Amino acid sequence: MQTLSDNTYTGVGVAPGRIIGSVRQMPHPVSEPPVGERLSEETTAEQASVALRTAATAVQEALTARAAGALGAGREVLEATALMATDPMLIKAAVKLIVAGSSAERAIWDSAASVAEMLHNLGGYMAERATDVLDVRSRIVAELRGVPAPGIPTSDSPFILIAEDLAPADTATLDPAQVIALVTSSGGPQSHTAIIARALGLPAVVAAAGVTDLPDGARVFIDGAAGTITVDPGAAEVAAAAAWAATAASLAVFDGTGRTADGHLVPLLSNVGGSADAVKAAAAGAQGVGLLRTEFCFLDRDTEPTIDEQVTEYRGVFDAFPGKKVVVRTLDAGADKPLPFLTDASEPNPALGVRGYRTDRTSPGVLERQLSAIAQAADGSSADVWVMAPMVSTADEAAHFAALCATAGLTTPGVMVEVPSAALTAEAILKHVEFVSLGTNDLTQYAMAADRQLGTLAALNTPWQPAVLQLVRLTVAGSVAQGHDKPVGVCGEAAADPALAVVLVGLGVSTLSMTARALSAVGTVLASVTLAQAQELAALALASPSAAEARAAVRARLPILHELGL
C-alpha cells in the first residue's frame, strides 16, 4: 500500500485535513529483560537499588508533570500511574530481588508482575490498577536503559505522531492539542485507531509503510483525504494547509438537517460511546444517536455492570437527546473489544468467534439484564429509544432478539447487518425486526475475509469494494421486498466518508450515523447533490470493477470535495 515517490509516502487517508508540522516517532515498546538476568560484576546490589529508586522517582516526576498539563480522564490516568511508580510494595519487592542477585531491570520486571497479579486477583477497582503497574514497569526499565519512555511522546510544541500502530490505551492519553495529525505504518482504515482519529478530528493516514524511518523533527505535510505524507513541503503545500485551516473552521458545526439539494431528508445521526460523547454530539448538531456502543461504557470492567450502573450511563445519553432517536446497541464484546466477563481470550479466531449477540449463548442472562436496564433508562426519558443487536447472522437470531426486546418492553427492535449472511437474508430478518443498521466496518472485514486491524490488507478492507456495495444494495432490496419499507441505516465508518455517504443515499439508505466531527462535511456534500444525482453516482460506483475505480469515479463527479479539501 506504500510508495515513496520523490519525497512523498502514500498510505490510506482515513480522516481529512491538510496540515504541516514536525514529526515525532512513537518509541518502541520496552522489551522484557532476559529471564534470570543477574547483576553485572561491576555493580553492587546497593548501587543497583539506588539506580532503581532514582529511575522510579524520575518516572513519577515525569508522569506528575504530564498529569498537570492533561485534562479530564487523561489526567486521572496519569495521576494514578504516577503514584504507582514509587509504590513502596513494588520497590521493596524489587530491592529484595536485587539483594538476591537479580539485575535492577529484571527485578522490577518480576516484582511488578507479582504486584499486578495480586491486584488482578483482588478484582474490581484494584484489578484495574494492574495495567498501571505494568505501565510504570516499562517506564522504569526504559529509564534504567536510558531509552525514551514508552507511550505517546511529550513535546513543548504540537507534533505529528508517527507510530507502527496505536493501542487503545495510548489513544486514551492522546491530547489533540499536542498531537495535530496521526500517521501509522500499519493499521487498517476500519481499525479502532482510525475511528478514534476521526472522532478527535485529527487528519490521519494509515498503512503508510516506511514512515517509521522518518527522523524526529522532520517537517512534513499530511493530506488526510489523499493519504499522503510529503517531506519538506513547498509553497503549494503551505497554501493547501492554510486553505484547510479556513475550511475546517467553516465545517465546525452542522446546520442540523441532513438533506439532498432537492430536499430528500436523510437524518444525520451520531455514533457515541457514552454520555460525554452524546453531549458533544448534541452540541455538534447530530439529529440523534444512530449507534450507542454500550461496550465502550464498560471496556475497563472485569465484571458485569449492575443494572443501576447501566441505567445511569444510558440515561445520560438519552438526556442529551430529548425527543430524538437514540439507537442503543447491546454489548458488542469480542475480537478487538474483549470484555472479560463475556469473552474467552483463548479463542483461536476471535473475529469469527463468540462475539456480539453470540455471547448470549455462552453467558445467558447478561443480554436480558442489559435490555431491562435500557428499558428502565428509557422509562421517564423523552428520547425515542431503539435497540439493536450486533453480529446477527440469521433470521432466527433476529426473531429471538425481538422476543427478548418485547419481554423487556422495548418496542423498536432491530439488528445490525455486519455479516454477509444478514445482508443476503435481510428480507427474512426484517419480518422479525423494525429496522436494520449496516455496520460497514465488520461487513467489509467479513465480505473480504480481511482483518480490519491489518494495515497490510487495507486495500481489501474498504467499503468502496464492489462486493460491499452489492451487500448494501441487497440489504435495501430486502427491506423493499419485505413490503413495509423498514428503515435501513448505516452506522459504520462508510457513513463518515462524504463521497461514500452520497453513494449510500443513492443506494436507498435512509439514515447515516457517524462520528460527530464528520456531520458537517457529510451534510455539506450531501446538500450539494439531488437524490437523482446520488442515485446516478451509486449506479456508477456499483458498475465499477474495483474499489479504487469506484472511489475515483465518484470523487471526480463531486468537485466540492476538492474545493473543501475532503
Active-site residues, by number, are 192, 491
Residues between 57 and 96 that touch Mg ion (CB under 5 A)? none
Residue 183 or 391: the one with the smaller Cβ distance to Mg ion is 391
State which residue has the least CB distance to Mg ion: 442
Closest CA to 169 of 186, 150, 154: 150
Total binding residues toward ligand PEP, as defined by CB under 6 A: 10
DSSP string, 459-477: TTS-TTSHHHHHHHHHHHH
If one asks whether residue 442 binds ligand PEP (CB under 6 A), the answer comes out as: yes
* Strands 413-417 vs 435-438: parallel, antiparallel or unpaired: parallel
- Alpha-carbon distances of 387 from 77, 128, 130, 300, 473, rounded to whole Å: 32, 30, 34, 23, 23
Residue 543: count other Cβ atoms within 10 Å of its Cβ.
12
If one asks whether residue 442 binds Mg ion (CB under 5 A), the answer comes out as: yes
Say if residues 159 and 21 touch (Cβ distance below 8 Å). Answer: yes
Say if residues 273 and 296 touch (Cβ distance below 8 Å). Answer: yes
The region of 155-163, 284-292, 410-418, 545-553 touching Mg ion under the rule CB under 5 A is 410-418
Residue 233 or 390: the one with the smaller Cβ distance to ligand PEP is 390
Query: Count of H helices and E strands in the chain?
Result: 23, 17
- The option from Mg ion, ligand PEP, none interacting with 492 (CB < 5 to 8 A, set by class) reads ligand PEP
Closest CA to 502 of 460, 471, 457, 469: 469
Residue 112 or 443: the one with the smaller Cβ distance to ligand PEP is 443
* Strands 219-223 vs 18-25: parallel, antiparallel or unpaired: antiparallel
Residue 209 or 501: the one with the smaller Cβ distance to ligand PEP is 501
If one asks whether residue 439 binds ligand PEP (CB under 6 A), the answer comes out as: yes
The region of 85-93, 124-132, 279-287, 436-444 touching ligand PEP under the rule CB under 6 A is 436-444
How far is C-alpha 204 from the chain's CA centre? 13
Task: Please report the beta strands in 267-361, taking only residues with DSSP state E, as ranges in sequence order.
Answer: 268-272, 288-293, 325-329
If one asks whether residue 293 binds ligand PEP (CB under 6 A), the answer comes out as: yes
Q: Which of 81, 359, 440, 544 contacts ligand PEP by CB under 6 A?
A: 440
- The option from ligand PEP, Mg ion, none interacting with 491 (CB < 5 to 8 A, set by class) reads ligand PEP
Tell me, letter by letter, the H, E, C secondary structure of 42-104.
CCCHHHHHHHHHHHHHHHHHHHHHHHHHCCHHHHHHHHHHHHHHCCHHHHHHHHHHHHCCECH
Q: Which of 441, 515, 520, 524 contacts ligand PEP by CB under 6 A?
A: 441
The region of 26-34, 40-48, 272-280, 417-425 touching Mg ion under the rule CB under 5 A is 417-425
The region of 174-182, 406-414, 433-441, 454-462 touching ligand PEP under the rule CB under 6 A is 433-441
- The option from ligand PEP, Mg ion, none interacting with 413 (CB < 5 to 8 A, set by class) reads none
Provide the Cα torsion 506, 512, 518, 522; round to 10°.
30
Residue 10 or 453: the one with the smaller Cβ distance to ligand PEP is 453
Q: Which of 304, 332, 434, 497 contacts ligand PEP by CB under 6 A?
A: 332
Least Cβ distance, residue 355 to Mg ion (angstroms): 9
Least Cβ distance, residue 448 to ligand PEP (angstroms): 13
DSSP string, 249-284: HHTSS--S--B-TT--B--EEEEESSHHHHHHHHHT
Let me know if 315 is exposed, middle or buried by CB neighbors in 10 A (0-12, 13-18, 19+): buried
Q: Which of 439, 463, 478, 565 contacts Mg ion by CB under 5 A?
A: 439
Residue 209 or 500: the one with the smaller Cβ distance to Mg ion is 500
Residue with cell 510504570: 136
Residues between 455 and 494 that touch ligand PEP (CB under 6 A)? 491-492
Residues within the interface to Mg ion (CB under 5 A):
418, 439, 442
Residues within the interface to ligand PEP (CB under 6 A):
291, 293, 332, 418, 439-442, 491-492
